[in-house]
Amino acid sequence: MNPIGPALAQLGAEIGRLTAAFGRRVDVGAMRISDRAGVLPLAEPGRVSPNGAARLIEAADGWIAANLAREEDQELVPAWLGGDVGAEPWPAIAEAARTRPWRGMIADAALLGIPAAGVGEVVCERLHAPLIRLGPAAARPATPRVVDLSALWAGPMCGAILAAAGCAVTKIESPRRPDPTRQSTPEFFQRLNGRKAELAFDFTTREGRGRLRETILAADVVITGARPRGLASLGLAVETLMAEKPGLVWVAITGYGWTGPGANRVAFGDDAAAAGGLVGWEGGAPRFLGDALADPVTGLAAAAGALQALEAGGGLLVDAALARSAAAAGALCGLRASA
C-alpha cells in the first residue's frame, strides 16, 4: 500500500479536472511517473532510505535525517562535524549527533549546503502550493510554452504533466551539469522528459546566460528546482523577469519554500519527507516509508499550481516546497511526527 496514496489521488484528480478544461485530460496514474519501482534498485525502507543515500539519526534531543546523495555532501561532512571522519562518514555522524541538539546540527548543515532536517520540523496541512502574485496577468495562451530548467524528479514530473496536457515544453540543461537521471535511471528519465524538446546552454558564459534569459522571456511557464541564491548566480531576478513578461508563471520547486528563513536550504526527497514528518515509528524510532516520497507529491502539487496559475492569467509564482508538501501529505494520510 502506498503511504501517500490519498495525497497522490487528490492531486491527480485535480490535475485531471484542470487539464480537461485545457482540452486534453491527463491521467497521471497512466503516465507511471509517481514512483521509481522497477527502474532503480531500491531496498526496503527503514532507518536507511530505499536508495541508500539518506539515514535517520538520533540526536541528543530528537531525530534528524541526513542525505549524502552527492559527492560534495560527503566531502563536507568533516566541516559539518568539526573533525576528521575517516573513510565512512555515517558512524561519525551518528556519534556526533548523540551529544548535539538537533537544531544545531541542522543549522550547521544548512550553512554548508548539506541536505539535513529535523524529523517533523515542518507542519503544513495545505496540499496545494501557494500562488504568489509577482507580475501582471495576461490572456492565457492557446498553447503555453514551457521552459523546464529543473532536474531529477519533482520538477521534470511537473513538466511531463504539462507536456501531456498539450503544452510545448523545452528542457534546458547546462552541458557542464546535465540532469543526473539521464545516466542513473534512463528509462525513468524518458518517462519524465520524452515529450519535451531539448536545448543546452552553457550557464557559465555570458552568451549562455543571455540566451537563457531571452528564452525565459519568450515562455509562458518556467519550472525551476533552484534556490533563490542559485538563480541569482545565473543573473536571473525572478521578480524582474515576471514584471517584464505579463502573464508569466514561475514554478519554483525548493526544499522549504521560496521565502522565509529556509529559502536557501538544500533538500532532496528523503530528507524533506522526514522534515514533514512523513515517516513511520517503531519502538520510538522513525523509519522511512518509501522512496523519496516528497518528490512525487511536490511534482503533482507544482503541476496543479501551474495549471491554476495559467487559468488565472499568470503573473504568479507557484511556491512548491518539498518539506511542506510532505507535511501536508502526511497530515492527509494520518501520519504526524515531531522532532
pLDDT in tens, 281-315: 999 999 999 999 999 999 999 999 999 999 999 99
Strand partners, 113: none
CA-only gyration radius of the chain, Å: 19
Q: Is the pLDDT of residue 244 over 70?
A: yes
Cell numbers at 227, concatenated: 534556490
Q: What's the pLDDT score for residue 290?
A: 97
Burial of 209 (0-12, 13-18, 19+ CB in 10 A): middle
Specify the length of the chain in residues: 339
Q: Average pLDDT of 238-265?
A: 96
Q: Is the pLDDT of residue 13 over 90?
A: yes
pLDDT in tens, 76-110: 999 999 998 988 999 999 999 999 999 999 999 99
Count Cα atoms within 13 angstroms, Cβ side, for 74. 12
Instruction: State the Cα–Cα distance between residues 115 and 8, nearest whole angstrom.
Output: 24
Q: Which amino acid is at 213?
A: R
How many other C-beta atoms can be found within 10 angstroms of the C-beta atom of residue 259?
Answer: 14
Could you tell me how far CA 116 lies from the centroid of its own chain?
14
Q: SS3 of 13, please?
A: helix
H helix intervals, the chain: 5-22, 28-31, 71-81, 89-97, 102-112, 154-164, 181-184, 186-193, 206-217, 228-233, 238-244, 269-275, 294-311, 322-332
Q: Is the pLDDT of residue 337 over 80?
A: no
How many other C-beta atoms can be found within 10 angstroms of the C-beta atom of residue 303?
Answer: 32
For the full predicted model, state whether its pTM sits above 0.95.
yes
Helix axes 186-193, 154-164, angle to 10 degrees: 50
Q: Give domain limits for the chain.
A: 5-41+124-261+289-332
Q: Is the pLDDT of residue 274 over 80?
A: yes
CATH class belonging to 5-41+124-261+289-332: alpha beta
Q: Which residues contact 90 (CB under 8 A, 6 or more apart)?
A: 55
B/e letters for 185-206, b = 16+ CB within 10 Å, e = fewer, are: beebbebbbebbeeeebebeee
